[in-house]
Amino acid sequence: MTTPDATDVLTRERGGFRTELIAHGWLLPSRTAVLPGLGPQANAVYDGLAALISRTTRARFAAPVTAVRFPPVFSASMLERTDYVASFPQLLGTISSFTGEQSEYRELIDVYDRGGDWQGRLSPTGLAVASAACHPLYAYLEGTTAAGATVYEMTGECFRHEPSDDPMRFVAFRMREYVVVGSEQQARAHRVQGIAIARGIFEALGLVIDVVPANDPFFGRGGAMLAASQLQDEAKFELVTEVYAGRPTAIGSGNYHGTHFGAEFALHQADGTVAHSACSAYGMERIVFALAARHGFEIVDWPPRVRELLGLADVGAVA
């Protein structure tokens, strides 16, 4: 249980961190756009981190790494196929647009000009903002036979409707993922290897890391049961670091999905049985800010080895 005092301390810590990130130009606040942007130093660290993860995974994963890319928007039916609607309805996002004719357009403008509910005049497009970076991969692979001999690399924009003043909690963020689809053994081995690689990268960057069993914040139907089942199966591990004292924040994870996606998307092994899958994930913006929390807000003052790993050894103060 968190006591009210501890909550106050955490709220102050989050507010203080956000203030510092803004003061040093890492976070670009906006009254109108609402979701903040990233400033030059945050961008430079992001780019260096993305390259470091690409290099390291290519050197260390046993199977060859293939880079693919999916847009931040997909069909709303994806939220049905992954049962995201039932598990996380409070986090999903569907997209509406104006699909009417000229006469309805005049009504829309009338409402809009009067400062009325113009959004009420829009209709669902059948599209949604992507809930996870790897979900479109299973849809792309639908109906194929997976040999497990490929590690798919992708960086995806993810949407989670959980607005917060905590700078470590984003509504829109980038997730780098490495996915294997194959036998149970291949999937489980990938999860183990993925966690080891991520831990190695984080520790080389000077972060203090713990690896802990985790569960997702399931909302409704069977939520408590699903969460308990994840923990019991050791299905998900998170790589956590302390940005806020005594409250670890997850910056990466390793997930073994069993046949969850294999069964839904008809992914098979060579012998015709349902394929298993696993992914190793990096919460990119969280890692960038965890590094600022650890090493300070001026990259020029970071440990030389960390700057070198991020390709920022020669960078002076980034404007």
> CB of 121: closest distance to a second copy in angstroms?
8
Map tokens 């489980």 to a residue. Answer: 188
> CB of 273: closest distance to a second copy in angstroms?
22
> CB of 191: closest distance to a second copy in angstroms?
23
Q: Which is nearer to a second copy, 33 or 245 (CB)?
A: 33
Q: Which are the contacts of 25, defined by CB distance < 8 A and separation ≥ 6?
A: 39, 40, 41
Selection from 14, 130, 44, 149 nearest residue 81 by Cα: 130
Q: Which are the contacts of 319, defined by CB distance < 8 A and separation ≥ 6?
A: 40
> CB of 73: closest distance to a second copy in angstroms?
4
Single-letter amino acid code for the residue at 187: A
Contact between 266 and 164 under an 8 Å Cβ cutoff? The reply is no
Q: How far, in Å, CA of 29 to CA of 50, rounded?
A: 24
**Neighbouring C-beta atoms of residue 105, cutoff 10 Å:** 12
> CB of 278: closest distance to a second copy in angstroms?
20
Q: Which are the contacts of 156, defined by CB distance < 8 A and separation ≥ 6?
A: 69, 70, 72, 130, 132, 133, 134, 136, 174, 175, 177
Q: Which is nearer to a second copy, 38 or 195 (CB)?
A: 38
Q: Which is nearer to a second copy, 136 or 262 (CB)?
A: 136
Q: Which are the contacts of 222, defined by CB distance < 8 A and separation ≥ 6?
A: none
Q: Could you tell me the two tokens for 310?
A: 């991020």
The C-alpha torsion from 65 through 66 and 70 to 72, rounded to 10°, is 20
Q: Which is nearer to a second copy, 166 or 184 (CB)?
A: 166
Q: Which is nearer to a second copy, 137 or 207 (CB)?
A: 137
Q: Which is nearer to a second copy, 159 or 237 (CB)?
A: 159
> CB of 92: closest distance to a second copy in angstroms?
6
Q: Which is nearer to a second copy, 43 or 215 (CB)?
A: 43
> CB of 5: closest distance to a second copy in angstroms?
29
